[in-house]
Amino acid sequence: MTDDVAAVIRVGLSEIPASCRLAEAVRGVLALPPETADWEATYARLLPAQSVYHPVHAINNTVWLVLALLYGKGDFEKTICTAVMCGFDTDCNAANAGAVLGTIIGAQALPRKWTDPLADTLRTAVAQYSDVRISTLARRTARLAETNLHLVEVYKPCSPT
């Protein structure tokens, strides 16, 4: 486990082909924070290249997700708000930023102003899961990950030839 957001992003990069457009875009964001002082300057620098994609395209929204994670510096609210302020697919970007950072920092570190209104309950349209405890789903997900973690070493995505 690590709380180093950049390290987590690099692990994610290891699961996709290094030469794909998404990997190249993410590496571009990872290269910017040391030379750019604030997220808005980084956003302005990245915007021209990302604006060529549809507002709900995976590449540009992953770029905004990575930017928010890096500039949020472990602060949950700052991270999700930065994801929203980037525009584009704001609801998904904030949710993904919150999910990634929440996984890194743990449920106990999440600000109560964001968790209390949920009352540990998720209401869905999924049969047999209309009202389910978020903590139950989190434990189930963790158990599945632990059970299947050995597959990570066995399975590697195909690389382009």
Cβ atoms of residues 17 and 23 within 8 Å: yes
Residue 37's pLDDT is 76
Closest CA to 38 of 73, 8, 5: 73
Cβ atoms of residues 68 and 32 within 8 Å: no
| Residue tagged 């349209």 (tokens) | 125
66 HSE (CA, 13 A, CB side): 28
Residue 2's pLDDT is 83
Residue 142's pLDDT is 86
Residue 90's pLDDT is 94
Residue 154's pLDDT is 47
- Locate 13 and state its tokens: 């990069």
Residue 155's pLDDT is 47
Cβ atoms of residues 131 and 106 within 8 Å: no
Residue 44's pLDDT is 94
Residue 159's pLDDT is 47
Residue 141's pLDDT is 87
User: Model-level pTM?
Assistant: 0.85
**Domain ranges (residues) in the chain:** 5-109, 119-161
- Give the residue ranges of the chain where pLDDT is below 50: 154-155, 158-161
What are φ and ψ of residue 152, in 5° steps?
-60, -40
